[in-house]
Structure 1
Amino acid sequence: MTVSTLVSCSVVICAYTTERWTDLCAAVDSVLTQNVPVLEVLVVIDHSEELFSRAERHFAEQTRVTVLHNSGSKGLSGARNTGVHAARGDMIAFLDDDARAEPDWYRVSAAHYSDPDVLGVGGFASPVWPADRPVWMPAEFDWVVGCSYVGQPTRIEPVRNFIGCNMSLRRTVFDAVDGFSDGIGRVGKTPVGCEETELCIRIRAHQPSAQLLFDPAMRVEHRVSDDRATFRYFLSRCFHEGVSKALVSDLVGAGDALSSERAYTARVLPRAVVTGIASPRHGGLARAGAVIAGLAATTAGYVRGLVGLRSKRVTA
């Protein structure tokens, strides 16, 4: 496929804190230096005047970069929707402010859109740890730090949903199913998520023939900050993932919301525990314990989320 036949691409990068300034600049630079140029980069600042002013000044001379205020509700969903509304490309890609796209990121993703049934493409995210990878951290739980994990596909194939730091969607999707749902997703440092899961499920419900593809060649590096490399954050993120899954279940039904998770907990996690126990000298026992603790925390969060939703209905 030639460059001229690739769909045009708007890249949305959302940011909320000056603490990630260096990461944000690196994320934008990784998009601007793609082997095939993207149409534009939309940097959406989530309710931080200090960060907005700094970004506006810094990117003033970059003709392909536009800095925007989040005009929606505070949080990642509102910021992404702001970027979507401003985007001019036929394909809208999303990159986290602490991720860096590899040079062929756009071309790999865009090539799939020659098939009209392909409405979205997600890719692989590898963690960049602050030091060595924690010995207790099971690769099956790398989703905790927003990265690809053991249990995901290893080749191009359809998936239910993407990892939010590395995904693209056809622009027409948002005309058909609106945008990311308010009330789901990260707000500041609160470690919730699932906004992209809920959106992808809505896309498939609207158009059952839609193809949402995972392509491991669409790669980014996702930096893991010091605070996210701790066991405390691990448990907190797992718990809030459970809460988020309860919200998604309430919106789209548990059948769709938990379809991937059932296979993951039935096959991937038991195998991880067995593997860990079999290699105790290399941190295996710690990883096996983390798998059990992570599953327990996620389950507790899910139950807490369901109880909270029922309580709201009773008092409404």
Structure 2
Amino acid sequence: MNHTHATTIVIPTYSEVRWDYLTRTLASARAQTHTPDEIVVVVDHNPAMYERIQRELPGVTVLENAYAQGVSGNRNTGAFHARTPLVAFLDDDIIADPNWLARQIEPFADPTVVGTGGAIQPAWEGPAPRWMPAEFLWAVGGSYAGMPTETAPIRNVWSANMIVRKDVFEAAGGFRVGFGKLGSRNRPEDTDLCLRMSQVDGGRWMYVPGAVIQHEVPVERASFTFFVRRCYAEGRGKVQMAGLHENDALGAERDYLWALPKAMFRYFGAGLTGKGADNFLRSGGVVAGVAAAGFGGVVETVSSKRPSRRTPVEATP
């Protein structure tokens, strides 16, 4: 095996409710055509689950979150433990294609690449919502329409399907502990990490659409109410993130927003020309998503003061 492509897979988890998901994720990690050097499961302040994994899941390294509660600390615990040049992050509710790891490490042949991400396909527990615009699949943790269709540079990827150079990850301080997703709070800790890693030595990220994972979408996350709340939270989170960076951190978001009116009219036009009434619903979904995210951004801008939003990056142990 090429040592420079040796990889540790880190899987954060937190609740025994997700046990079946976790064992399925581990099975797909073990079935990779490029064998990982180590698979690490990090448990978020749940001693009973930590002990159960130790007892029932041999062949994996199990650690307890060494930081405050939250997935950012979970991922940092696993990444700082790793002894390989590359560290891959997967969520505990995914199924990785057997070629996922082999394909997603390919761009690291270029030393300027600091990280990669792959395609995330929603695995709907129930029927896919008729009103869901493909441009908003990010709201349920999926890759969305408008992303590259071939391997290409990208500003940021998502931590559900991410591989990083360990040395650059450590130089950037890892994920910003206390800034990620916890409860109803939804801050883009993965985008924040990508920006900081790119700033370490001018490195870049690559998106590899051929490296595919399936990401579980429970029935409750397929509701319109969840969609609106998620877009609102994203609007607030992106403004919070921008306050942590001196340079313009929201350029990609502006480009994305400019493309949405075209999507709205495209869906509406498809409905008018007899291509399915669901297109009218998707057109409305675009409007609702933009409105909710915009409102969240306004609320955060008005209610927050920049100094209070600055969260220090946890030091590398």
Answer yes or no: same fold by TM over 0.5. yes
Match of 1:144 in 2: 139
Match of 2:216 in 1: 223
Please give the residue correspondences for 1:25-64 in structure 2 after superposition, counting only pairs within 5 Å: 25-59=23-57, 61-62=58-59
Query: Structure 2: 5+ residue runs without aligned partners?
Result: 310-317
Report the secondary structure of 2:294's partner residue: helix
Q: Kindly tell me: are residues 42 and 272 of structure 1, through their superposed partners in 2, closer, same or farther at Cα, counting changes over 3 Å?
A: same
8 Å CA contact retained: 1:155, 1:215:
yes
Match of 1:199 in 2: 193
Displacement of 1:303 in angstroms is: 1.8
8 Å CA contact retained: 1:184, 1:247:
no
Report the secondary structure of 1:255's partner residue: coil
Displacement of 1:5 in angstroms is: 5.4
Matched, 1:264 2:262: no
Aligned length: 305
Report the secondary structure of 2:163's partner residue: strand
Equivalent pairs: percent with the same residue? Answer: 36
Letter in 2 for 1:227: E
Could you say what the CA RMSD is over the residues aligned between the two structures, in angstroms? 1.7
Match of 1:12 in 2: 10
Report the secondary structure of 2:45's partner residue: coil
8 Å CA contact retained: 1:158, 1:214:
yes
Match of 1:293 in 2: 288
8 Å CA contact retained: 2:113, 2:205:
yes
Give the distance between the partners of 2:194 and 2:137, measured in 1 at CA: 21
TM-score (norm 1): 0.92
Report the secondary structure of 1:252's partner residue: coil
8 Å CA contact retained: 1:148, 1:163:
no
Displacement of 1:57 in angstroms is: 1.5
Q: Kindly tell me: are residues 128 and 135 of structure 1, through their superposed partners in 2, closer, same or farther at Cα, counting changes over 3 Å?
A: same
TM-score (norm 2): 0.92
8 Å CA contact retained: 1:155, 1:216:
yes
Letter in 2 for 1:242: G
Displacement of 1:76 in angstroms is: 1.1
Give the distance between the partners of 1:164 and 1:98, measured in 2 at CA: 13
Please give the residue correspondences for 1:29-178 in structure 2 after superposition, counting only pairs within 5 Å: 29-59=27-57, 61-62=58-59, 65-178=60-173
Letter in 2 for 1:252: H
Please give the residue correspondences for 1:266-285 in structure 2 after superposition, counting only pairs within 5 Å: 266-267=258-259, 269-280=260-271, 281-285=276-280
Report the secondary structure of 2:248's partner residue: helix
Matched, 1:212 2:205: yes
Displacement of 1:190 in angstroms is: 2.6
Query: Structure 1: 5+ residue runs without aligned partners?
Result: none
Letter in 2 for 1:215: V
8 Å CA contact retained: 1:191, 1:236:
no
Q: Kindly tell me: are residues 294 and 254 of structure 1, through their superposed partners in 2, closer, same or farther at Cα, counting changes over 3 Å?
A: farther
Deviations 1:80-116 (A, max 9, x none): 1111111111100000111111101111122221211
Displacement of 1:182 in angstroms is: 2.0
8 Å CA contact retained: 1:136, 1:290:
yes
Q: Kindly tell me: are residues 198 and 96 of structure 1, through their superposed partners in 2, closer, same or farther at Cα, counting changes over 3 Å?
A: same
